A and B are shown apart, each in its own frame.
Chain A
Amino acid sequence: MTDVLTPVLTDNWGTERSWTLAAYEDQGGYAGLRKALELAPVDVVEVVKASNLRGRGGAGFPTGMKWGFIPQDNPNPKYLVVNADESEPGTCKDIPLMMASPHTLVEGVIISSYAIRANTAFIYVRGEVLHVVRRLQRAVQEAYLAGHLGKDIHGSGYDLDLIVHVGAGAYICGEETALLDSLEGRRGQPRLRPPFPAVAGLYASPTVINNVESIASVPSILDRGAEWFSAMGTEKSKGFGIFSLSGHVTNPGQFEAPLGITLRKLIELAGGMRDGHELKFWTPGGSSTPILTAEHLDIPLDFEGVASVGSMLGTRALQIFDETTCVVRAVLRWTEFYKHESCGKCTPCREGTWWLAQTLARLEQGNGSEADLDLLLDQCDNILGRSFCALGDGATSPISSSIAHFREEYLAHLTHGGCPFDRTASTIFPKVEAHA
């Protein structure tokens, strides 16, 4: 039986100066790269396919298969772009990874670029994380000096340049085609597909876009083998992943476990719910994944398990809220976020998120009527599946799922003439200070 927690990506986070090349190589770093360079690129793709690694950025698309879509007969240069925009509310795994062990990502980039025959790769990192940017810049510099990057890497004849590219604040730039536009120096707005990035991505050339954690998983797969990786996890969701617990648990934090662990187990590891409180609702994978309740504590947290209860595994961003939290307030705040971040390209999302926020705000203030709940669901209906990209779809998730689970609480705002909750009760400050 596999252990409850299986630190691989997080294994060196507690090491002295873990971000340096010396510390990383001391713990066996860059062994995966050496093994990869002994294989033909196409065989590296095969290893990753055989591992059954599925994308860690939310959608769970098989990584090796994505690489296989790159048309090698296309005369244009190929590109690898790492999506390090991590901005989905609740998601907080890629940032600590790049802070503590940027070389895990850099090594993954080199192996992955070699596999798809890219000679230029980018890490697109959100701009609002200065120290992470510093650590990435330093790691790339060190990797060049060590001959892991640059010309004729370790005598293999393979050349790779890696550019750390810093964004400027826009959630939509995490959407892969918007990210490409942003990386080309434009407003970050999604592109029409097809053509898909694999065929016409960055500079209209074949491009692979992968999440940080997906790419960071590659070195261990090359070093220890596809079979090792797929020995962990569940039938269709192989391997390990970082589960991020935040909110009303005793010890919020990062937990790396085989896919399929339950929230019940994770909350236990986090020291339980905070003292004297109980679980009310949670997101399995960020604010764009429909909320779940205490009913769902025992579902396996893998792609299939979470889908079976009408939500999505997403980014394993487990935001945990106890009974002091007003679900309407929580959902309204997320809705304001989507409204603010809507890129404005398509009408259902641009106008729809505005209407959603209006209607919700009215309800939250106790001014609406019960009919507003149906109005909200109707508005969701007009956005879901009709928006140009998944941001619009995601905006409807918290609303429709919270109405399904907590209709009574919406109505309580109407009978109470406003929010019936004490806002200070949900904070983690001692009572005195919260009131001061």
Chain B
Amino acid sequence: MSPDSGAGRIPGIDDGTNAPGVSTTQIARDTPLDPTTYAELEEIAARYPQARSGLLPMLHLVQSVEGRVTARGIEACAAILGISSAEASGVATFYTMYKRRPVGDYHVGVCTNTLCAIMGGDLVFERLKDHLDIGNDETTDDGKVTLEHLECNAACDYAPVMMVNWEFMDNMTPESATQLVDDLRGGVEVHSTRGPRLCTWREAERVLAGFPDDLADEGPSAGPASLVGLNIARDQGWAAPSVDEAEEGAQEADAAEGSTTADKAEGSHEAERDEADAEVDRSEAEAKHKDNPDNTGGDDK
């Protein structure tokens, strides 16, 4: 599901057949993966009650070793999980983070979903394409930077947002973005705005495969935007009620209704079940699944 893959075609379904560059099935199969990697792939599969659950992290590990998803990587996963290569490959092509073309040392993403785009993400992305002289999903000649536009990365209060090797780069401008890629290409040490010094894309993929790198303690607890509400609450002396305050409040409310807390406690199971039933009815109504009236309200998004 890479952005801009074949206009109008089904992400993850058709892009396996019209993939640009090398197809995973055409790569020489004679040199198998090294034994250490193979053993680590097996280790991932063994973490799960059912081995196949390991496939996504296994593919992350393949990327960290191979720089992309390769045919021999797919085959190793398939062999370990006892599934066909076609099945494993079908999974790999479904997810945007798996790349079939080599990725540079730094995967540079620019959010161009609505909020970031409006706030300036579109201009940041255009400027970077110009500056690096590459298009979406392309890599600079020096093999350092792969540029891609991203969907929402859950950091909207820091818009416009960029991600380098999936680390947050918050509150970007066209200027700071060009400076960033120049630094990355020039070997200057760069830190995430909410994380550690940037590692390489392959190193990042290894962490995603479930092999921690010991950098968890780097960076802040939270960025400034995450703390805006908390800081106001502290300044104003606002807080959640204490348990006693909450109880008093409940007693007052009960007194107003002419009942006692004791009554309420006794009747609470019944009352709460009726309430809960009503809740389900409502959730169903909200879910708008006309064709699926049995929806237990899992979704209405």
Contact = CB atoms under 8 A, between A and B. Distances in A.
B301 A227 contact: no
A254 B301 contact: no
Nearest to A321: B118
A142 B152 CA distance: 31
B239 A7 contact: yes
A150 B222 CA distance: 29
B263 interface: no
B215 A185 contact: no
A31 to B, nearest CB: 12
Nearest to A353: B8
B260 interface: no
Interface string A211-252: 000000000000011011001100010001001111110011
A436 interface: yes
Given A134-B212, A340-B11, A434 B152 contact: no
Interface stretch (B31-39, B133-141, B182-190, B281-289): B281-289
B28 interface: no
A344 interface: yes
B8 to A, nearest CB: 5
Interface residues of A, number: 152
B257 interface: no
Contacts of A50: 268, 272
Contacts of A394: 301
Contacts of B279: 54, 61-62, 65, 236
Contacts of A126: 154
A39 B171 CA distance: 47
A375 interface: no
B163 A128 contact: yes
A193 interface: yes
B231 interface: yes
Nearest to B117: A333
B65 interface: no
Contacts of B96: 168-170
Contacts of B151: 87, 89, 171, 337, 340-341
A41 interface: no
B233 A187 contact: no
B91 A186 contact: yes
Given A7-B239, A59-B298, A134-B215, A342 B11 contact: yes
B109 to A, nearest CB: 8
B276 A65 contact: yes
A344 B11 contact: yes
A214 to B, nearest CB: 12
B234 to A, nearest CB: 8
A128 B225 CA distance: 20
B97 A65 contact: no
Interface in A407-436: 423-424, 426-429, 433-434, 436
Which interface residue of B113, B173, B192, B196 has the most chain A CB atoms within 10 A? B113
16 contacts: A6-B241, A49-B272, A61-B279, A168-B95, A169-B95, A170-B94, A175-B299, A182-B56, A186-B55, A240-B240, A252-B228, A333-B113, A354-B8, A390-B289, A428-B119, A429-B174
